[in-house]
C-alpha cells in the first residue's frame, strides 16, 4: 500500500495541518495576550515607579515641613523665654520702684508726723509756759503791777508785730 492511499497518513496529515493551523492561530492569540499582559505589567510597573517617586517627593516635602515646624517651634520657645525673662526683669524693676516709692511715702509721712508732733509739743510747751508764767505772775505780782505790765505789753505790741 502506498503512503498516499493509507487513511492513517491522510488523518495524520490533516491532524498536523489542523494542529499547525491551530498553533499559528493560537500562537498569535497567545502572543497577543502575552504582549498585552506584558504591556499591562509594564504600565503597572511604570505607574508604581511614578507613585513611588511621588511618594518619596511627598515624604521629603513632609520631612522638610516637619524640620521647618520644629525649627519654628524652637524659635518660638526661645523667643518666649526671652520675653519671659524681659517680663521678669521688668516686674523686678517695677517692684523695686514701688517699694522705693512706698519707702519714700512712709519717710514723708514719718517726717510729717514728726513735724506735727514737734508743733504740738511746742504748742503744749508754750501753753505750759504761759500757764506757768501766769501762775508765777499771779503768785508773785499784785493786781496793780499786773495791770501796768499788761498796759506796757499792749503798747509794745504794735512795734513787735512790725
Please give the grid coordinates belonging to residue 31: 502572543
Q: Is residue 1 part of a domain?
A: no
Print the domain residue range for 34: 9-161
Q: Is residue 3 part of a domain?
A: no
pLDDT tens for the chain, residues 1 to 162: 577 788 888 898 899 998 888 888 888 888 889 999 999 999 999 999 999 999 999 999 999 999 999 999 999 999 999 999 999 999 999 999 999 999 999 999 999 999 999 888 888 887 887 788 777 777 777 777 777 777 787 787 777 665
Q: What is the pTM of this model?
A: 0.43
Contacts of 138 (CB under 8 A, 6+ apart): 146
What is the distance in angstroms between the CA of the first residue and the CA of the last residue of the chain? 184
Q: Is residue 125 part of a domain?
A: yes
Angle between helical axes of 143-161 and 7-140 (0-180°, round to 10): 130
Tally of domains in the chain: 1
Q: With contact defined as beta carbons under 8 Å apart, do 137 and 146 qualify?
A: yes
Amino acid at each position: 500500500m502506498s503512503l498516499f492511499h493509507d487513511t492513517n497518513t491522510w488523518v495524520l496529515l490533516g491532524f498536523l495541518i489542523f494542529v499547525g493551523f491551530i498553533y499559528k492561530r493560537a500562537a498569535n492569540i497567545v502572543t497577543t495576550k502575552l504582549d498585552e499582559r506584558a504591556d499591562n505589567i509594564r504600565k503597572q510597573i511604570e505607574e508604581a515607579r511614578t507613585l513611588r517617586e511621588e511618594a518619596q517627593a511627598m515624604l521629603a516635602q513632609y520631612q522638610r515641613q516637619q524640620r521647618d515646624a520644629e525649627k519654628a517651634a524652637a524659635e518660638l520657645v526661645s523667643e518666649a523665654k526671652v520675653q519671659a525673662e524681659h517680663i521678669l526683669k521688668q516686674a523686678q524693676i517695677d517692684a523695686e520702684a514701688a517699694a522705693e516709692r512706698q519707702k519714700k511715702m512712709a519717710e514723708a509721712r514719718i517726717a510729717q508726723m514728726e513735724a506735727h508732733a514737734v508743733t504740738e509739743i511746742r504748742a503744749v510747751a508754750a501753753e505750759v509756759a504761759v500757764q506757768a508764767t501766769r501762775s508765777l505772775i499771779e503768785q508773785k505780782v499784785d493786781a496793780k503791777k499786773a495791770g501796768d505790765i499788761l498796759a506796757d505789753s499792749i503798747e509794745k505790741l504794735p512795734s513787735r508785730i512790725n
